[in-house]
Amino acid sequence: MDLALGKVVADILISILKARSGTKDSVPTIPSGNIERHLAYALNWSNRLEMYGLPPSETDSTTIPLTIFTGPRRFRLNHGSSATLLESDLLDNPGSYLLLGEPGAGKTTTFKRITRTLFTEEPRSANDTYDVPFVILCRDLAPHDTLLTAVAKAFGIPYSNRAPQGDLSSHEYWCDQHPLMEVITEFLERCKAVLIVDGLDEAPKAHRYQITRDLSSLALHARAAKILASSRTGDHDRVIDGFNVVEICPLTDDQITTVASYWLDDPTEFLLSLASLPYRDIVDRPLLLVQLLFIFKRKGKLPSQPTEIYKDIVDLLLRQWDDERGIRRESTYATFNTRRKAEFLWEIAYHLTYKVKRKTFSEFDLQTAYLAICDQFDLPRDEMEQVVKELQTHTGLIVAAGYREYEFSHLSLQEYLCAEHLIREPFAHRAFQYLLEYPAPVAVAVSLTNASAWLAALILRNDTPIPVQSVHSFLARLALEKPRFTVFEPFGVAIMKLYRDTSYAHVVLGGDEDPDVIDRTKAMLDALASVAVAEESLRLALHSFTAIGPVTNDEQLLSLSRKDGVMPGRDFVIPAGVCLPLVIHRRVMGASHV
């Protein structure tokens, strides 16, 4: 930073105070060094990024300019396209801006980049007429600070509160004989400053109304100055006069590739690995993308079990991201702590997935799901909107998807949260129906538990044939989730039942199944049956069956019949007949057993 800049800014402030004091002798004393210290602080703040669990990184070398919607996402109709802005437009275009975004979307990073631009680069256009950035972080405000007093303290502007004595709720700040608002407005104007106010949602709740009033007044009076403020999307619940409200867009594929290239010498392997994983959708937020890049850079691969990532990301969004930055978000509801929020999200994800049966849901859908579960969390039945707003602000896991529409931030996380409910579902028999309706969360549930026992209980719940399309979808997702199976005899029986249902699909289900889907499903079953613990489970299970001979329509498939005396169990229905490919039977039992 040019040291002369601090002197120029200080001289401007002194001249303002002199002009407003009326006499030279009564000019208030400005503590030396305040302005230089603030500018150095702003420069240092903008230079580095700190993210949970990651080493600090340089802003210039690891970030990109983000794309910005020209209005809040929740007011877009029918998910239609919306006009966008560039980061540079926030400086080039007239007026002040309120920048919205979900947790980890890049709000603070965008403001750091703009601060760096003002300090280190020449104006890029004739409309960029600003000379200096001033930075206020709302999370650092003292308990009784307003925006005005925070700015005054940062620059050493003397002030007093002329509110009636004892009335702590009233604010009437003056600098000598002039309202503090007038002095600060003139100071910003004369400096051609950009006042950056980061994290309105992180300010003490009791002071947010006054802070937004101060922001509005500053923005409405700004001509040569500009105000840039940011907030989490869920916390934006009132109009702030004088501001254009915009929202950060999700990362595009090209932007993801560019960020990856900043962290990795060659991002090709990372991007190829990511493309095959069920949580690939989470990387549309910079925070979550960088978390995965750091894991890949450190370990040379992404975690083999997606459930590890689901848990870490949900924990990051629920708690760790705020904890790392020293932010405590108080709930309006006494018992609605982080753990209870997680449980609520499990329940609401389940209801929306299997009861409402929608991924994007209306306000009415959300109300229906909320009313079904609010009592068990001691939440008021008539405050659904407030509870959802708190969840959106605190976690960013439920977001506005359009006008009066909502969705989970990422489908993979909705499926994971739903699965957390399923493994705790007291009526486990329903899981079979869920497998038929929407197999993905069921496959995730298998991966979260004793995988062999849960899969066996699911498939052997009854002897009803499972449609091959459901089996195909379930196995495809199971292959991505990579559950840790163990040797378990009913697990082997379940595999043989799936072979039977798939092989007889054209008979049992009236010939409506696609032959290509049947072939792909058999190939996935072959892959599952070839895992060592699956082979041992099959070997144990085959002791309960007698080989009959090749299946009529498929000589490569062996038909097996349950032995006399082997009775269906209480927890697992042992089918009367199952199937297994001859090649697998020989591998497991030896050719002499056929």
Residue pLDDT, tens place only, 465-494: 899 999 999 999 999 999 999 999 999 999
What's the confidence (pLDDT) of residue 474? 95
* Structure token digits, residue 28: 């208030």
Bridge partners of 229? 98, 197
**What integer pLDDT is reported at residue 347 of this predicted model?**
92
Q: Are 45 and 112 in contact (CB under 8 A)?
A: yes
Q: What is the pLDDT of residue 409?
A: 85
Residue found by looking up tokens 């940062």 in the block = 154
> Given the structure tokens 């004369």, which residue do they identify?
190
**Sign of the four-CA dihedral 372, 378, 381, 387:** negative
Q: 510 vs 428, which has greater pLDDT? A: 428
The CA–CA distances, whole Å, from 111 to 65, 69, 195, 336, 403 equal 10, 16, 10, 32, 28
Strands 178-179 and 173-175: antiparallel
Q: How many CB atoms lie within 10 A of CB 137?
A: 18
If DSSP codes are grouped into helix, strand and coil, which group holds residue 574? Answer: coil
CB 25 within 8 A of CB 75: no
Domains of the chain (ranges, CATH numbers): 3-248 (3.40.50.300), 253-324 (no CATH), 338-417 (1.10.10), 429-593 (no CATH)
Write out pLDDT tens, residues 394-408. 777 888 777 778 888
pTM value surpassing 0.95: no
pLDDT of res. 510: 46
Please tell me the least confidently modeled range out of 90-104, 119-133, 311-325, 532-546: 311-325
Share of the chain above pLDDT 90, in %: 44
Q: Is the pLDDT of residue 454 over 60?
A: yes
Minimum mean pLDDT among 189-198, 314-323, 582-591: which range?
314-323
Question: What does the pLDDT read at residue 113?
Answer: 96
Say whether pLDDT at 508 is over 90.
no
Residues 344 and 369: beta-carbon distance below 8 Å = no
Kindly indicate the confidence band of residue 592, based on its pLDDT and cuts at 50, 70 and 90: very low
Query: Of 30-39, 136-145, 432-441, 554-563, which has the strongest mean pLDDT?
Result: 432-441
Mean pLDDT of 225-236: 90
Within 10 angstroms of residue 198's Cβ, the number of other Cβ atoms is: 23
For 166-228, what is the HEC assignment? Answer: CCCCCCCEEECCEEHHHHHHHHHHHHCEEEEEECHHHCCHHHHHHHHHHHHHHHHHCCCCEEE
Give the lowest-confidence range in 59-63, 81-85, 468-472, 560-564.
81-85
Q: Tell me the C-alpha distance between 96 and 225, whole Å.
A: 9
Q: What is the rounded distance in angstroms from the CA atom of residue 568 to the CA atom of residue 575?
A: 7
Q: Which secondary structure element, helix H or strand E, spans residue 559, and what is its range?
A: strand 554-562
| In the predicted structure, residue 190 carries a pLDDT above the cut 50 | yes
Q: What percent of the chain has pLDDT over 70?
A: 87
> Which range is least confidently modeled, 191-195, 257-261, 427-431, 508-512?
508-512
The DSSP secondary-structure symbol of 26 reads G
Which distant-in-sequence residues (6+ apart) come within 8 Å of 91 by Cβ? 114, 117, 118, 124, 127, 128, 130, 194, 226
Determine the Cα–Cα distance for residues 258 and 249; give it in Å rounded to an integer.
16
pLDDT the model gives residue 167:
52
- The pLDDT of residue 165 is 62
Helices (H), ranges, 84-179: 89-92, 107-120, 147-155
Q: How far is CA 342 from the centre of its chain?
A: 13
pLDDT band at 509 (very low <50, low <70, confident <90, very high): very low
Contacts 24+ apart (CB under 8 A), 236-239: 236/72, 236/98, 236/100, 237/389, 238/212
Q: Provide the mean pLDDT of the chain.
A: 85
Distances (CA, A) of 449 to 430, 481, 483, 511: 17, 12, 9, 35
**Residue 537, both tokens:** 């489970």
* For residues 38-54, average pLDDT: 84
